[in-house]
Amino acid sequence: MNKIKLLLFLLFFVFHSCGYQPIYSDNTYANKQILSVSVKNIKNRSGQILKNSLLNQINPERERVITKYNLVVDLSESKEELAFRKDMSATRTDLENTARYSLIEIKSGEIILKQEIKSKSSFDVVESVYATLVAEKDARQKNLSVLSDSIYTNLVIFFKNKK
């Protein structure tokens, strides 16, 4: 038991000396800056879902803050049929969502961060049209969740490094 305590104690100093800091800790410069990000409207229903997910991550308490940055996101989607039956109808489809986003500083109008992120999911195409639509919707939702998490994490890292 003492060895474990000693190991944990030493690991604390190793992480502390290497500059390790938890990315999601409260009251950091990055967390204060990210609250001042406004997410602009994104086209279509998938865009609405992505925007709402980003807003829930950026400002979950809906605090009123002065907007310093605009996040502009362009969302696209593509499908690729992968597996085929003998009659050449698809049985498996890849759904890929791509988010190209820019973080714009309002004061200067300058683009301070520009990136592209992709997420891909697959779903089965079955004889039931309803089941296929539900599977496609679920794949899309998973992609949008991954994109939202990635964009948010990249923003936090950007602001943490900007400090």
Residue 90 amino acid letter: A
Q: How many domains does the chain have?
A: 1
Residue 141 belongs to some domain of the structure: yes
pLDDT at 142 over 90: yes
Residue 5 belongs to some domain of the structure: no
Q: Which of 152, 162, 115, 163 is nearest to 24 (CA)?
A: 152
Q: Which domain holds residue 47?
A: 25-162
Mean pLDDT along residues 146-161: 94
Lowest mean pLDDT of 38-47, 89-98, 115-124, name the range: 89-98
Residue 2 belongs to some domain of the structure: no
**Average pLDDT score, the chain:** 87
Mean pLDDT along residues 10-39: 70
Residue 10 belongs to some domain of the structure: no
Residue 4 belongs to some domain of the structure: no
Mean pLDDT along residues 147-161: 94
| 17-56 burial: b if 16+ Cβ within 10 Å, else e | eeeeeeeeeeebebbebbbbbbbeebeeebbebbbebbbe
The predicted pLDDT at position 104 comes to 96
Lowest mean pLDDT of 6-10, 42-46, 52-56, name the range: 6-10
Share of the chain above pLDDT 70, in %: 88
pLDDT at 80 over 60: yes
Give the chain as a DSSP string: -HHHHHHHHHHHHHHHHTT---TT-TT-HHHHHHTTEEEPP-SHHHHHHHHHHHHHHH-TT-------EEEEEEEEEEEEEEEE-TTS-EEEEEEEEEEEEEEEETTT--EEEEEEEEEEEEEE--S-HHHHHHHHHHHHHHHHHHHHHHHHHHHHHHHHHH-
Residue 88 belongs to some domain of the structure: yes
Place 22 in a pLDDT band, splitting at 50, 70 and 90. Answer: low
Residue 59 belongs to some domain of the structure: yes
Lowest mean pLDDT of 19-23, 59-63, 65-69, name the range: 19-23
CATH number at residue 115: 3.30.160.150
Residue 19 belongs to some domain of the structure: no
Residue 19 amino acid letter: G
